[in-house]
Chain A
Amino acid sequence: MTDGIRFDSVTVAYDGNVVLDSLDLTVAPGEVMALLGPSGSGKTTALRAVAGFVRPASGRVFLGGRDVTDLPPYLRGVGMVVQQYALFPHLRVEDNVAFGLKARKVARGEIRTRVAEALEMVGMAEYGRRYPRELSGGQQQRVAIARALAIRPGVLLLDEPLSALDAQLRSGMLAELSRLHRELPEVSILYVTHDQVEALTLADRIAVMDRARLQECGTPRELYRAPKSEFTASFVGSANLLPVTVGERGVFFGERRVEVRGVVPGAATLCVRPHLVGLGAGPNQLAGVVREIQWRGATHRLYVDVDGHRVVADVPELKKPPVYGDAVMLHFAPEDAVLLSVGVGDE
Chain B
Amino acid sequence: MLVHSRKAKWAVWLVFAVLFLPLFALPLLVVLGASFATNWSGVLPSGFTVSHYTAATRGEALQALTTSLVTALTASLLALTVGTWAALAAAGLKKRQRRLLDALFVLPVAVPSVVVGLAILVAFSKPPVLLNGTRWIVILAHAVLVTAFAHQSVSAAIVRLDPAYEQAAASLGARPVYVLWRIRLPLLLPSLTAAAGLCFALSMGELSATMMLYPPDWTTLPVLIYSATDRGALFAGSALAVVLMTATLLVLLIVSRVRTRASYR
Contacts and interface: CB of A to CB of B under 8 A. Distances in A.
A196 interface: no
B175 interface: yes
Given A78-B171, A151-B173, A89 B164 contact: no
B24 interface: no
B172 A147 contact: yes
Given A99-B172, A103-B175, A133-B265, A89 B187 contact: yes
Contacts of B171: 51-52, 73-74, 76, 78-80, 148, 157
A86 B165 contact: yes
Interface string A66-101: 000000111111111010101011100000000110
Interface in B43-96: none
B173 A86 contact: no
Given A72-B170, A80-B168, A151-B172, A103 B265 contact: no
Given A82-B164, A86-B165, A90-B186, A133 B264 contact: yes
Interface string B172-203: 11111010001100110100000000000000
A52 B46 CA distance: 74
B172 A100 contact: yes
Contact of B173 (A53, A84, A88, A103): A103
Contacts of A103: 169, 172-175, 178, 182
A104 B264 contact: no
B91 to A, nearest CB: 16
B168 A86 contact: yes
A100 B173 CA distance: 6
Interface string A284-319: 000000000000000000000000000000000000
B162 interface: yes
Contact of A86 (B167, B175, B189, B265): B167
A99 B182 contact: yes
A341 B78 CA distance: 69
B168 to A, nearest CB: 4
Contacts of A76: 171
Contacts of A88: 165, 168-169, 183, 187
A133 B167 CA distance: 20
A52 B167 CA distance: 9
A53 B167 CA distance: 8
A22 B169 CA distance: 29
Interface in B133-156: none
A89 B186 CA distance: 10
A99 B166 CA distance: 12
Nearest to A83: B164
B264 A90 contact: yes
Contacts of A157: 171
Interface residues of B, number: 21
Contact of A89 (B169, B172, B264): B264
Contacts of A84: 162, 164
A74 B167 contact: no
A76 B168 CA distance: 13
A103 B182 CA distance: 10
Contact of A51 (B167, B173, B174, B264): B167
A320 B162 CA distance: 57
Contact of A99 (B174, B175, B176): B174
A147 to B, nearest CB: 7
Nearest to B264: A89
A110 to B, nearest CB: 15
Name which of A73, A75, A100, A148 has the most chain B CB atoms within 10 A of its CB: A73
Interface in A113-157: 131, 133, 147-148, 151, 157
A100 B174 contact: yes
Nearest to B172: A100
Contacts of A131: 264
Contacts of B170: 52-53, 72-74
Given A72-B170, A103-B172, A90 B164 contact: no
Nearest to A81: B168
B172 to A, nearest CB: 3
Name which of B164, B170, B173, B176 has the most chain A CB atoms within 10 A of its CB: B173
A90 B167 CA distance: 16
A283 B205 CA distance: 92
A243 to B, nearest CB: 45
A314 to B, nearest CB: 40
Given A99-B182, A133-B264, A86 B174 contact: no
A89 B162 CA distance: 12
B236 to A, nearest CB: 48
B53 to A, nearest CB: 43
10 contacts: A51-B171, A80-B168, A84-B164, A86-B167, A88-B183, A88-B187, A99-B169, A103-B174, A103-B182, A148-B171
Interface of A: 51-53, 72-80, 82, 84, 86, 88-90, 99-100, 103-104, 131, 133, 147-148, 151, 157
- Closest 7 A/B residue pairs (Cβ): A100-B172, A103-B174, A86-B164, A73-B170, A86-B168, A80-B171, A89-B264
